[in-house]
Homo-oligomer: A and B are copies of this chain.
Amino acid sequence: MTTGIEPPPSGSSSAESLLGAHLAEQAGRFLRALPEVDLGTLRRVDGALHGFGGLLDPTWGETLRGDLAALIVTLGQERGYTRRLARLLTAVDSLTCTDVAVPLPRAADAEQPGAGPNVGGLLAHHPGAPKARAMLERQLTLARSRSHTAALQELGSARFHSLADRMTLLVSDLPLRAPEEIHPAEQLLGHAARTFEALELTVDRLPLDRAAVPYNGDALHRIPMRVAADPAGQAAHDDAAWTRVGAAVRYARYALEVCGPLLGGRAAEPLAGLAALAAQLERQQEAVDAAEAAALAARTPRITPATAYVLGVVHADQRLEVEAARHAFSCSWPDFLSSGWLTDPWLARST
């Protein structure tokens, strides 16, 4: 297909050599950081295996991806609990900080019936707030400690040593699907384009029109019965659909990074756009998980009703954060789409 645009300078590299160089760079970073584990490099290796698996030895690739996934989950949990705890304590504190401690007086408005003194939506002086804070801190610190132990076990496991060995090999040797074949470097763009197509398909399944309306209530409310028959309406409550978009954005981003040497400066703008979308989806996911942690804490036996009440407020507050992050994504996505990167000829020309 002739696009009328000259292909970018790609030198004499092949697809295999560019992919190999990228993976070698990530593997080198991973090894130099040890005994610390750089989750970013592991995610990039996984992303390269996902996006360009067609070029690679399938058994080797799938085995490595499985081990990477287990390690990312185990090590990610500890970091996830740390972030979740910070987010929930910030929520409790912002709901209860006492810089305006005195309940606001109700306006002397004879026309407006009211149930009593107006304390707004604030939890200042609520007896449950310190206990809810202590409970969240205790439970999430305990969960983090358990994750830490699991992470240490993982780092001492045969699986981890085997993975480190494979990363060492990756610095010099890339197991190819057909070692006798050499593909032009531009073929990487076609593979990357498919991760962009997958991203667009995944986003198409989100109810973005609903999310674009502020205060749509989706995060807390169920859809009324009459709307529930509409698949888009149901999807509004499908947190999993949003999680999938988060993964699709990462795959598109990491695939584009692999193509960086082919695209030069032209990759900067879409990479920045994908990073911004990823940040919104990460905020969305963290709020989903934090809301769930507050709900779990409220199921602790023998807590006081005051504690449970505050946890209910915090849960709803985090679900509101979920809704706000989805709204922000629904505003950013059309801009990203209209930038043309998803259908850019440099990505599409070799599909």
Q: Kindly list chain B residues whose C-beta atoms are within 8 Å of the C-beta of A118.
A: 239-240, 288, 292
Q: Kindly list chain B residues whose C-beta atoms are within 8 Å of the C-beta of A143.
A: 115
Cα-based distance from A118 to B296 in the complex (angstroms):
11
A interface secondary structure, majority: helix
Please tell me if the beta carbons of B237 and A107 are within 8 angstroms of each other in the complex: no
Please tell me if the beta carbons of A220 and B69 are within 8 angstroms of each other in the complex: no
Nearest Cβ on chain B to A283's Cβ, whole angstroms: 12
Cα-based distance from A228 to B106 in the complex (angstroms):
20
Say which one of A92-100, A177-185, A332-340 lies at the interface with B: A92-100
Tell me which of A70, A234, A239 has the highest count of chain B C-beta atoms within 10 A of its own C-beta. Answer: A239
Nearest Cβ on chain B to A310's Cβ, whole angstroms: 6
**Given known A122-B237, A214-B327, A240-B107, contact A99–B220 (CB-CB < 8 A):** no
List residues of A (212-237) whose CB comes within 8 Å of B's CBs. Answer: 214-215, 217, 219-225, 228, 234, 237
Say which one of A167-175, A316-324, A343-351 lies at the interface with B: A316-324
Nearest Cβ on chain B to A68's Cβ, whole angstroms: 8
Q: Kindly list chain B residues whose C-beta atoms are within 8 Å of the C-beta of A221.
A: 94-95, 317
A contacts with B, residue count (CB < 8 A): 89
Please tell me if the beta carbons of A113 and B304 are within 8 angstroms of each other in the complex: no
Tell whether A262 is near chain B: CB-to-CB under 8 Å.
Answer: no
Please name the residue on chain B nearest to A310 by beta carbon: B312
Please tell me if the beta carbons of B293 and A115 are within 8 angstroms of each other in the complex: yes
Q: Kindly list chain B residues whose C-beta atoms are within 8 Å of the C-beta of A124.
A: 222
Please tell me if the beta carbons of B316 and A111 are within 8 angstroms of each other in the complex: no
Say which one of A23-31, A153-161, A244-252 lies at the interface with B: A244-252
Please name the residue on chain B nearest to A243 by beta carbon: B107
**Given known A69-B111, A100-B234, A111-B247, contact A121–B220 (CB-CB < 8 A):** yes
Please tell me if the beta carbons of B113 and A239 are within 8 angstroms of each other in the complex: no
**Given known A222-B97, A238-B104, contact A247–B121 (CB-CB < 8 A):** no
**Given known A107-B244, A243-B112, A285-B112, contact A225–B292 (CB-CB < 8 A):** no
Please tell me if the beta carbons of B239 and A111 are within 8 angstroms of each other in the complex: no
Nearest Cβ on chain B to A232's Cβ, whole angstroms: 14
Report which of B96, B105, B225, B296 forms a contact with A97, defined as CB distance below 8 A.
B225
Nearest Cβ on chain B to A276's Cβ, whole angstroms: 17
Tell whether A41 is near chain B: CB-to-CB under 8 Å.
Answer: no
Q: Kindly list chain B residues whose C-beta atoms are within 8 Å of the C-beta of A319.
A: 120-121
Please name the residue on chain B nearest to A298 by beta carbon: B309
Cα-based distance from A97 to B224 in the complex (angstroms):
8
**Given known A305-B305, A309-B312, A322-B121, contact A77–B113 (CB-CB < 8 A):** yes
Please tell me if the beta carbons of A122 and B222 are within 8 angstroms of each other in the complex: yes
Please name the residue on chain B nearest to A311 by beta carbon: B309
Tell whether A114 is near chain B: CB-to-CB under 8 Å.
Answer: yes
In the A-B complex, the 5 residue pairs with the smallest Cβ-Cβ separation, listed nearest first, are A312-B312, A69-B110, A316-B316, A214-B214, A121-B319
